[in-house]
Structure 1
Amino acid sequence: MAADDVPSSVRVRTGGENAYRFDAIESASEFYDTNRSDAIAFACDDVVRLADAIEDVLEEIDSVQERRAVAERLDRAASFDVQVETTVDVGE
């Protein structure tokens, strides 16, 4: 994104049915031991790296059952879906 496109501030709506966002931001602020704005930025940066790392780890696991077990545990812990794809090569 070009520097001219970056707004000077961004607002996060936390009223009404978005009230859960405030709790999430507070949790991130406590986790990172920083202010809310920095916590949001750190969390956004980290979630992309974490998702990439999860994909890498799942690709390293040979057992389909182990992949599924790990993916299910991660699925319960995160708000994003973890998909496991398996390819079976049959040699001649």
Structure 2
Amino acid sequence: MAGLAVTKVVHRCDDAKETNRLDLSGCQLTQVPDAIYLLLKSTPLEVLDISSNLVRRIPSKISSKFPHLTELNLGSNRLTTLPEELQSFSGS
């Protein structure tokens, strides 16, 4: 990630600590940054928006790292498959 993108992700993670909603839409990400797991490890994240990026693969650990997740937006990316852990994601 370029410097500006890193700064944007960190700021949005800071916001998510207050709202339990992480909006990474339109950040030109090519992958889900591992830093979000560390930055939000104590946050009961409920909404994760990774839409409108260039992501090709979603890590399977998203569901275990964010067990409170009820909404996951992956629209407008370059995904080819979803991890098995997310194929039956019900958001509950």
State the TM-score, normalized to the length of structure 2: 0.28
Decide which structure has greater strand share.
2
State the TM-score, normalized to the length of structure 1: 0.28
Does 1 or 2 have the higher relative contact order (CA < 8 Å, sep 6+)? 2
Which has the greater radius of gyration? Answer: 1
Decide which structure has greater helix share.
1
